[in-house]
Amino acid sequence: MVNQPQGAIIGIGELKPVRYSEGKTTLSLIAESVRLAIKDAGISKEDVDGLLVGPQVGETPQHVPATVSEYLGIDPTMSNTVDLGGATGPGMIWRAAAAIQAGMCETVVCVLANKNEKGETLRSPNRNPIREFDVPFGASGANTSYALLKRQHMEEYGSTQEDFARIAYWHRKNAQLNPDAIFYNKPVEVEDILASPMIADPLHLLEIVMPVAGGAAVVVTSAEKAAEGKHKPVYLKGAGEKITHRAVSQAPGIDALPFNYSIPRALEQARTNVEDIDLFSLYDCYTSVVATTLESTGLCKPGEFGEFVKNHSFGHDGDFPLNTHGGQLGFGQADLAGGMSHVVEAVHQLRGEAGNRQIPDAKNALVTGNGATLSETTALVLGGER
């Protein structure tokens, strides 16, 4: 029997994405996100005794938790940097619950934020074996790497451009019900996606997230303390995590990607199955990620996501609600905070406060996070009942 993690989300705070964040620092965006989360939780700053933060804080290359703690004016008994790329947000949640269960702290704030200034050049670190096997051949960025993933799926299974485009269509469609989404009031059709510029063959522009500035924070506390909060608690019921590689040249076969482990593990811990999931809040930096993740859930067999997407509805009122806030493809990706937006949307839905995009009687959500090129993966099952 797999032990269930203990913990619950009691507060969330998320900044509205903007194309550029002129005059902002990463620390200021972190602070504002945390302020909103603490306010939403109905607690004081002094109640926070745990901190989890991402590694990319532009104002400091090292000692990140100490720098952020000092800036926030807190003195946590547990702090750490979580570095899982796009899986960092969900990965923080189970780590917070584990720290609480271990008695290291009682209330943890998990925060990610990113500034995006016009004209700023982002640099990626050189890491082997990427430097040896990938960069010399041009595979030095996310677009190229995820294009290879999409091409592999098309070659092995016969999936089509239209199959992938339908995923982007649903994300943009769902974003039309979220006024905070960067692409609110900007719907697209499948034909528009296919007609958008080819960025890295076979990836089109509208299959790729647009970087924005923003931030998100989540407060996690013990299940006992959560019952005293001002909101309906959202409980962490299961978690799974798996890292298989870093460089795309070292990736396993498409039938052995890490979500094939982390998603079943989370469902097993939660003692539930995929049929009991009401919201699929799946990391969506590229359409190819959503396609393979859907197959990893068991909703469809490997190579069959295209027919699955064609024959089902993914809106809040559909049979398989998927990224009802618009996902990163529709809401926007504030760097690592983009992954946390999937957690925030799950909390909104499980609290019953998603407004015009509310899923009727939502009880369970599957949240995923992905780092590098489907390399670092985290899956969470969140529920409105303990």
Task: Specify the CATH number for the domain of residue 55.
Answer: 3.40.47.10
Q: Which residues of the chain have pLDDT under 50?
A: 122-129
- pLDDT > 90: what percent of the chain? 70
pLDDT of residue 210: 94
Instruction: Say if residue 377 is in the same domain as residue 307.
Output: yes
pLDDT of residue 124: 38
Instruction: Say if residue 277 is in the same domain as residue 373.
Output: yes
Count: domains in the chain: 2
Instruction: Say if residue 187 is in the same domain as residue 64.
Output: no
Residue 1 lies in a domain: no
* Overall pTM surpassing 0.85 (yes/no): no
Alpha-carbon distance 35 to 259, whole Å? 33
Instruction: Say if residue 184 is in the same domain as residue 224.
Output: no
Instruction: Say if residue 231 is in the same domain as residue 255.
Output: no
Residue 129 lies in a domain: no
Residue 135 lies in a domain: no
Domain hosting residue 62, numbered range: 8-116+213-236
Instruction: Say if residue 172 is in the same domain as residue 306.
Output: yes
Alpha-carbon distance 320 to 203, whole Å? 25
DSSP of 137-201, one letter per residue? GT--SHHHHHHHHHHHHHHHH---HHHHHHHHHHHHHHHTT-TTSTTTT----HHHHHHSPEEET
* Tokens found for residue 168: 């982007």
* Tokens found for residue 75: 């003195």
pLDDT of residue 77: 76
Sign of CA dihedral 86, 382, 276, 258: positive
pLDDT of residue 131: 60
Instruction: Say if residue 49 is in the same domain as residue 156.
Output: no
Alpha-carbon distance 337 to 199, whole Å? 24
- Which tens digit of pLDDT belongs to each residue from 285-335? 999 999 999 999 999 999 999 999 999 999 999 999 999 999 999 999 998
AA letter at 24: K
pLDDT of residue 127: 35
Residue 354 lies in a domain: yes
**Residues sharing a CB contact under 8 Å with residue 315, sequence separation 6 or more, in sequence order:** 170, 173, 174, 321, 324, 357
Instruction: Say if residue 166 is in the same domain as residue 274.
Output: yes
- 176 burial level (CB within 10 Å; 0-12, 13-18, 19+): middle
- CA 48 to the chain's CA centroid: 23
Q: How far is CA 209 from CA 130, 212, 294, 338, in A?
A: 23, 9, 18, 10
Q: How far is CA 108 from CA 10, 83, 213, 214, in A?
A: 10, 17, 24, 20
